Amino acid sequence: MADNNTYDAIVVGSGISGGWAAKELCEKGLKVLMLERGGPYEHLKDYKTATKDPWEFTHRGATTAQQKKDYPVIHRGWAAYDRIMDAWVNEIDSPYTEIKPFTWWRVYRMGGRSILWGRQSYRWSDTDFEANAKDGHGIDWPIRYNDIAPWYDHVEKFAGISGSLEGLPQLPDGKFMPPIPLNMVEKDVAEKIKNFYKGQRHLINSRTANITEPLSERTNCQFRNRCWEGCPFGGYFSTQSSTLPAAMKTNNLTVRPLSIVTKILYDKDKKKATGVEVLDASDNKTYEFNSKIVFVCASALNSTWLLFNSATDVFPEGLGSNSGELGHNVMDHHYNLGVSGEIDGYTDIQEQGRRPCGFYIPRFANFTGDSKKRDFVRGFGYQGSASRQNWGREIAELNVGGEFKDALCEPGNWRIGATGFGEILPYHENKIYLDKNRKDKWGLPVLAMDAEIKDNEMKMRVAIKEELKEMLDAAGVKNLSTYDSGHAIGHGIHEMGTARMGNDPKTSVLNKHNQVWDAMNVFVTDGACMASASCVNPSLTYMAFTARAADHAVNELKKQNL
Amino acid sequence: MERRELLKMVAVATGGVVIGGEFFLAGCKSKDAEVAGTAFSSDNIALLDEVAETIIPKTATAGAKEAEVGKFMTVMVNDCYEEADQKTFHEGMKKLDEACNKMHGHSFMKAEPAHRKELLTSLDKEAKEYMKNKKKEDPNHYFLMMKQLTLLGYFTSKPGLEQNFNYQPVPAKYDGAIPYKKGDKLFV
């Protein structure tokens, strides 16, 4: 296939973006080398806990002391769960520096975070693409919705996104499979919200990358809600279930695990990349691989780490640093806050099956029809669900014994709650950079994170809580309780930015086709490319950007422009 | 069930925080953190089984003893509790017996089921009252620990799940409005 370590294309990373790059490039006939820094993780075979029963787990969810010691970052949130601890990066081997608190959830393993992602899949609209130009934060996006809409179509059809057609301008409809249903309580709350706000606000089905009809070799979602352990049915989109098998089928793909890409090799005369340098994580030896094009899909911050480390003899701050924007404008979605409460009635129904999702309330603030004066720009959405309480609830006047047991086995009241997801603005001063004084296990410099949410986000958080309280109250939900646990950047696991796209090489790292201005055969298509954050979950947009860039790359190769 | 939700439920059911400082949410302590002389004996496990069985007795469905909740409690205390909570738990087993002696004139193991229930009912009230008023640095109440571990251990056990509920490992479908009447088993 490829002699002397030479390929048509190299893809750095095997997560959602890397998987898409490999699939698209392979299907277009290129010989592709996919490099993954972590070890293998095979579809089905390596989903070791996926079919175990709850009682087969010694600590029924808890993690061990050694894990607590090894994974301090993961223990800041909800991801420290005995079944999935093998997924997370070893934090002692791969540290990072927090100038300000920053939660970085990493998976260094084949498939990256595509196994563990939240699967919520929403399109951006022109409200998002025009936001920077309109309110002056960040720089204007070099594209609009029409540029990416066909690519949303393309990736949705292959990935399998279930959702309802709503005709909402802020949340464009896509090529959906039938939605995962709302339960009766959610439907009624949706109706009450619609009436109360005269059709300006909507509670809709989650749009999720869990399939509701068979797709290719994959079986539809079986409603186990254990996606994180890997799905034995291929019920949701991951590299393993979807893009990797498609790429392998072409016989054009070579996968090399345990390959830490340390730099992009750069020919300063041709102003092009010639390949990459790899440090083999198992034997610590260095290898070179050559290619016509390089797709950088190492996850937002690691993609920028790779640029920092590349072509430093020509650009002291790294490939793409000419603009002064490389590493800047790091964003995320701020969350960790919400409201929940009780709802009377519906005692004659229960749910069957465990959904891997719930409902979504699309953005309404600072959008057409929003009647309120806001003291912040941009907007937010909510994700939530309603369900009946079970054995964990308190039973008044019953403490111990048979009646207590019987009462716990009966269903309790219905509860409904949701969590806000807010847009974070692109601030130049929110940045990451190489901490040259600190090295990881392989002697490579680590990233330093210096970023925080600011006034606009703090004001938005107040509105997120107040608006949700008002909506649930209007829908008849009682005993509302609000929580707000604060937000460190990265905690939303939607870290993005640091190598933004733009129209001008003076203010951006990438052009409108995700090409590095200073090396047009290098494409960065993961979250690093983002010029703003919107408030919707980002992975679907990375898929679309990646497929679009792959198409452009192959066309340019044909024209011999790269 | 998602773990976070599960643990929140345990806290609500027992009227307060989940014991163990950071306990489940922040992971377990290792064996090397065990306090010397706090290993569990088979008598301890037998006692914990009976305490658990009193909280969740055998009815038409299995009780906590059949679900081996006593042993489960010892694993969780050893692996997951902070040192201070381990100590409180071990002292708690003695205190429970002392309280039984005071109330009924003999040890818990010798007490008849009705007396056991009476004792634990009073301990449950005592624990709730104590937890409500305690200062942050005060130790947790041992009975709250025992009750929380009993509920978690029982309702995630094979008999606890399979006999009380319509446990479906692979539901295959979702329906948000299945008719329910009292006596029907809840889908989990």
Closest in B80, B174, B185 to A181, CB measured: B174
**Residue B95: exposure state from Cβ atoms within 10 A (0-12, 13-18, ≥19):** middle
Burial class (CB in 10 A: 0-12, 13-18, 19+), A227: buried
User: In 3-state terms, what secondary structure has residue A462?
Assistant: helix
Do residue B13 and residue A65 have CB atoms under 8 angstroms apart?
A: no
C-alpha A84/C-alpha A82 separation (Å) is 6
Distance of CA A173 to the CA centre of its chain: 20
Distance CA A118, CA A466 (A): 25
Interface contact A61-B6, CB threshold 8 A: yes
Burial class (CB in 10 A: 0-12, 13-18, 19+), A284: exposed
B184 touches chain A (CB under 8 A): yes
Tokens of A111: 């498939």
Whether residue B4 is predicted with pLDDT greater than 70 in this model: the reply is: no
Rounded to an integer, what distance in angstroms lies between the CA atom of residue A503 and that of residue A142? 5
Instruction: Give me A360's structure tokens.
Output: 């979504």
Size of interface A-B (CB pairs under 8 A): 188
Alpha helices per DSSP H over A372-513? 402-409, 455-474
Torsion of CA A148, A151, A153, A157, to 10 degrees: -150
Phi, psi for residue A410 in degrees, rounded to 5: -85, 155
Here the tokens at position A107 are 């998976």
Per-residue pLDDT tens listing for chain A (562 residues): 445 799 999 999 999 999 999 999 999 999 999 999 999 999 999 999 999 999 999 999 888 767 787 899 999 988 888 899 999 999 999 999 999 999 999 999 999 999 999 999 999 999 999 999 999 999 999 999 999 999 999 999 999 999 999 999 999 999 999 999 999 999 999 999 999 999 999 999 999 999 999 999 999 999 999 999 999 999 999 999 999 999 999 999 999 999 999 999 999 999 999 999 999 999 999 999 999 999 999 999 999 999 999 999 999 999 999 999 999 999 999 999 999 999 999 999 999 999 999 999 999 999 988 989 999 999 999 999 999 998 888 887 889 999 999 999 999 999 999 999 999 999 999 999 999 999 999 999 999 999 999 999 999 999 999 999 999 999 999 999 999 999 999 999 999 999 999 999 999 999 999 999 999 999 999 999 999 999 999 999 999 999 999 999 999 999 999 9
Which residues of chain B are within 8 Å of residue A73 when distances are taken between CB atoms?
Answer: none
A414 strand-pairing partners: A343, A388
CATH topology for the A6-120+252-331+429-449+496-558 domain:
FAD/NAD(P)-binding domain (3.50.50)
Whether A38 contacts A107, CB under 8 Å: yes
User: pTM of the predicted model, to two decimals?
Assistant: 0.94
One-letter amino acid identity for A455? D
Token pair 């420290």 is at which residue?
A: A80
Kindly report the average pLDDT of chain A as a whole number: 96
With contacts defined as CB-CB under 8 Å, which chain A residues touch B61? 409
Domain boundaries, chain B: 3-31+41-164
Exposed, middle or buried: residue B156 (CB in 10 Å: 0-12, 13-18, 19+)?
Answer: buried
Question: Can you give the pLDDT at residue A77?
Answer: 85
Domain parsing of chain A, residue ranges: 6-120+252-331+429-449+496-558, 164-205+333-423+453-484
The reply to whether ipTM tops 0.85 is: yes
CA distance B25 to A278: 38
A347: three-class secondary structure by DSSP: coil
H or E segment and range at residue A104: none
Tell whether A390 is within 8 A of chain B (Cβ): yes
